[in-house]
Structure 1
Amino acid sequence: MSATGRAVLSGRLASCLVAAGLIALAAMPAAAEAGGRTSIDLRATYDARATIDWDEGTIVVRSMARITNTSGRAIDYLVLNSFAAALGRMEILRAEVDGARVAITVEDQNLLVPLAARLAHGAATEVLIKYRAHFRSGSAGRDYHFSRANGIISCLRWIPWVSDYTPFWESDWGEQMNTAVSPLVQVSITTDIPLTISSTGSRLSSDGLRQVFQARDVRDFNFTAAPDFETLAGDSFDGDTRIVVYSRTLPRQPMLEHAQQAIELFEQRLGEEYPYPRFTISEASGGAGHESPGHVWLGPTLSTSQLARLVVHETAHQWFYALVGSDQPNEPFADEAVAEFLTSAFFHQFDSGDCPSDRLDRDISYYGGCLYEVIYQQGSVFLEGIRRDIGARHFWAALRQYIDRHRFRFGSTEELLEALRVHAEVAGVDLLPRYEERFPRLY
């Protein structure tokens, strides 16, 4: 997607959700209504310090974002995203832009940060945000994303991160954020009791109750923590990736083994190494599964077969989400269908589900209770049909080309389909008729 297109994405998404009856026009950011411009095409590094009170179930965060405008045009305000606003009753304690106090507008999961003057292309600014939030005490629905439940803290989207303006999505399926890659994230977490922390990135040091982490080239930094996590460590089969499994109740050995097998297969098929030196797999406070860069969550109540499949699915997201980003709320096919295809290929088991056949080019709000069966399952079957018809050599070459063009950047459903179409033509197969049927918005 172009910089111009991404700059207006918040407006297009809000318009789509307005049409679907999910939000009101009042949910549009005030700066956008006044004609102000923002962008996700910014280079940002983050230095975040968190203090956690386990007994009180609170977190106090001080985050410094150093942001350079790389969008090609001047911007008037920033959109940052944090689930602490949507789920944690966020209380802003202090907000500054370049050392001057500012008033942040909190709308759902979006933090709208005003700039004193337009930020020109190439110019930089520093944004300091300090807040207090409360972890949810339950793990139903989306609550587990920001909760202390079942003996575990799960903390997702806690660093205010450069993002598109996106309404919070209550449904259990579908991702409701769109974030850009940061070249460097530094994190310090201090706890009131000893906690074992599983996170994005790598732990640099541990001194008493304070632990320091660092991550590079990530779209987010998330973590889980528990006083009684047990761990199992191993390496990928090629020895390039350290894999560490954290859990209270889930079996660690099969999780490690499925991650090792998935990394080996996906590296072979996609022609691209797993993108980080470390992969952490953690039991979470609830939910089913969730991906983060170099770090995935698995729910505590999963069956053996569910656990195996979700380990593989979330591992697949390390290529299609972490390495190649996409507009997850508006174009879920570009990451979820591909991740589910890789998972189904791993298990040699494809299932289109029970929902009626439907188009694959709509946003997450369109599908209702059929989002999983249409986008994930029907989407994976659709891709398997292409692989079967054009042959494995052409199919995997197309995915490799798509990854190579969008490494640590944003791809899209259309760009993915076009990569497949070009290679299909070489194989003598015309994909346009099936594209026109399942992707009428694009074809």
Structure 2
Amino acid sequence: MNSFFYKGSGVNVLVLVILLGFVLTGCNFLPALNPSVETGTPSPVPSLITQTAPNPALTKEPLVLEDFDLFQPGLVKSQHLILEKLKTANQYDLKLFVATDRKSINVEQVLRMNNQENIPLMDLYFHLFANYSGGKIVFSQILINGQEANYQLEAEDTILHIKLVEPLPVGESLVVTMLFDIQIPTVMGGNYGIFGYFDSVLVLDTFYPMLAVYDADGWHNQKPDPVGDLSYTDASFYLVSVDFPAELVAVSSGLEIENSAAGDRTRSVFAIGPARDFYLALSEDYIKVSEQVGEVLVNSYARPSEEDGANIALDAAVHALNIFSSYFGDYPYTELDVISSPMQAMGIEYPGIVGIGINLYELDQKTGRTLNPDILESVVVHEVAHQWFYNLVGNDQVNEPWLDESVSQFATGIYYEERYSATVGEQYRTSWMGRWNRIQQEKIPIGLPVSAYDAKTYSPIIYGRGPYFLFELEKTLGSDLNAQFWKKYVAKNQWQNSTTSAFQKLAEEECGCQLGDLFIDWVYEVE
């Protein structure tokens, strides 16, 4: 195995990584686990609720977010106006009590939702991804507007189905209150092993009941697929109170707006919105390095032995933030966190925070420096790109994964070209071919749902062939028009859910041309 370095702009770019396609961005790649998982016996935790107050009755006036002040500090100034536009978006209010042994969490969840669809809703569906990933959600009470709800678990306990007593009319609102305990796994499960307590880090990926999306295809309430990412969500607002052992450091989506201590416990309150979901990690081992970039504070968390990797991750995140904000439009939040996290992927994206696999922070025993800094850099950049593609511009990650994964790969190529040189950008793009070559450049469409791929084809097509399509699109449009298209695409679709057809339509409007043949060659399945 031969390797050599390209030296440019004072930075070494490991071309071996690029040529072999080993720049393994998280969100994907390792096969699904779902083994028999030990959850242990959870420690008893005190109830958060001593009395249940009745919730607001159904009203013809939609429930609206009243206290914008909670969320405005977490948004850059160019995003402040969005609060008024999204005032009827879903609102999650979560109260968590984390057990001392980290093996269970007691939760009160209140969801205020408005029916923004074009038909009355007879049912509500929630994803229970914790049950899929090796944990277990045990409900003690579910209320609709203060009344006991009629519900059942479906799809092997990965879907909560609530049958409404009366249809929820268009434009009207209700409140869903849930009391439950979560048993935390200590053995990795699910697709990437990103929910549980591992290596002294409590990682809470999609841990709470998440309202499924209702769109033109109806409710998206299927059981998770063992390939690809799990979630497809609408932009919502989150206010999350966490009571946890005082020795832990909490890192989450959003800003910490309140912190207090009592004995051996700490209580923090976090606020974020709009956002696709909420993520939380807690560890007693985290240290932090930070850098202010305009309105945005960038933090990099890792274990003390990983400080070199924390600085590498910080440097990559800062440069990616600047490059992508210039190319695609402003990053929406005033904080961006990068954390070293246990997982069986290379990295994973969440609103305002990205998790990077702990193994990428491994030290070279001879030099005491990070063993693979180039891979660490590329993974951080890819995951930061997801702040625009998945979060700011949403998409169905289950049925159209290319719209965020392939696009984030393409964006990573922009980073290398803008930060270093056109030569380095071209060398990075050879990693896409390295992946695609794993299946001999088979021309499988990139626009298929994750269920159409398997562990062998998903990565080569979505992370290899997919960004090549976007490179071909750039050559078709020309670099200037392509850059103009991307800024307009993000601006037009921010906090909405985009689709392949909407992507093609806007590209054709920008170029004043027909791109059907290009999309047929690369994206669509032709029968």
The TM-score normalised by the length of structure 1 is 0.85
**Residue 56 of structure 1: CA displacement?**
5.0
- Identical pairs, percent: 23
**Residue 112 of structure 1: CA displacement?**
1.3
Give the stretch that moved more between structures: 274-283 or 432-441.
432-441
Aligned residue among 224, 231, 236 for 1:168 = 224
1:414 corresponds in structure 2 to 501
1:179 partnered with 2:227: no
1:74 corresponds in structure 2 to 120
1:90 corresponds in structure 2 to 137
Instruction: Give the distance between the partners of 1:216 and 1:301, measured in 2 at CA.
Output: 31
For 1:223, the aligned partner's letter is L
Instruction: Give the distance between the partners of 1:143 and 1:89, measured in 2 at CA.
Output: 17
Aligned residue among 234, 243, 251 for 1:198 = 251
**Residue 147 of structure 1: CA displacement?**
0.7
The SS at the match of 2:203 is strand
Aligned residue among 61, 78, 100 for 2:147 = 100
The SS at the match of 2:230 is coil
2:521 corresponds in structure 1 to 437
1:216 corresponds in structure 2 to 273
Instruction: Give the distance between the partners of 1:274 and 1:222, measured in 2 at CA.
Output: 18
Q: What are the residue-to-residue correspondences of 1:21-100 with 2, within 5 Å?
A: 43-55=89-101, 57-87=103-133, 88-100=135-147
Instruction: Summarize deviations over 1:96-124 as a string: whole Å, max 9, x none.
Output: 11111124322343221221210001111
Instruction: Give the distance between the partners of 2:389 and 2:298, measured in 1 at CA.
Output: 19
The TM-score normalised by the length of structure 2 is 0.72
2:282 corresponds in structure 1 to 225
Q: Is the 8 A contact 1:282 1:298 kept in 2?
A: yes
Q: Is the 8 A contact 1:140 1:286 kept in 2?
A: no
The SS at the match of 2:450 is coil
When the two chains are superposed, the root-mean-square deviation of aligned CA atoms in Å is 1.8
Structure 2 unaligned spans of 5+: 1-87, 213-219, 361-371, 417-424
For 1:166, the aligned partner's letter is Q
Instruction: Summarize deviations over 1:390-432 as a string: whole Å, max 9, x none.
Output: 2111111112222122110111122112222333336xxx532
Q: What are the residue-to-residue correspondences of 1:241-390 with 2, within 5 Å?
A: 241-248=296-303, 249-250=305-306, 251-270=309-328, 272-287=329-344, 288-302=346-360, 303-347=372-416, 348=425, 349-350=428-429, 351-352=432-433, 353=435, 354=437, 355=439, 356-369=442-455, 370-390=457-477
Instruction: Summarize deviations over 1:53-106 as a string: whole Å, max 9, x none.
Output: 141511111100011111122101111223223231111111111111124322
The SS at the match of 1:245 is strand
1:10 corresponds in structure 2 to none
Q: 1:373 to 1:143 in 2, by over 3 A?
A: closer
Instruction: Give the distance between the partners of 2:523 and 2:298, measured in 1 at CA.
Output: 38
In the comparison of the two structures, how many residue pairs are matched?
Answer: 393
Structure 1 unaligned spans of 5+: 1-41
Q: Is the 8 A contact 2:469 2:522 kept in 1?
A: no
2:177 corresponds in structure 1 to 128
Instruction: Give the distance between the partners of 1:379 and 1:424, measured in 2 at CA.
Output: 21
Instruction: Summarize deviations over 1:15-40 as a string: whole Å, max 9, x none.
Output: xxxxxxxxxxxxxxxxxxxxxxxxxx
Instruction: Summarize deviations over 1:176-204 as a string: whole Å, max 9, x none.
Output: 2211011x211011113421111100001
Q: Is the 8 A contact 2:136 2:182 kept in 1?
A: yes
Q: What are the residue-to-residue correspondences of 1:110-121 with 2, within 5 Å?
A: 110-121=159-170
1:393 corresponds in structure 2 to 480
Give the stretch that moved more between structures: 386-395 or 323-332.
386-395
Q: Is the 8 A contact 1:230 1:247 kept in 2?
A: yes
Instruction: Give the distance between the partners of 1:195 and 1:73, measured in 2 at CA.
Output: 46
Give the stretch that moved more between structures: 347-356 or 194-203.
347-356
For 2:235, the aligned partner's letter is V
**Residue 243 of structure 1: CA displacement?**
0.9
**Residue 264 of structure 1: CA displacement?**
1.0
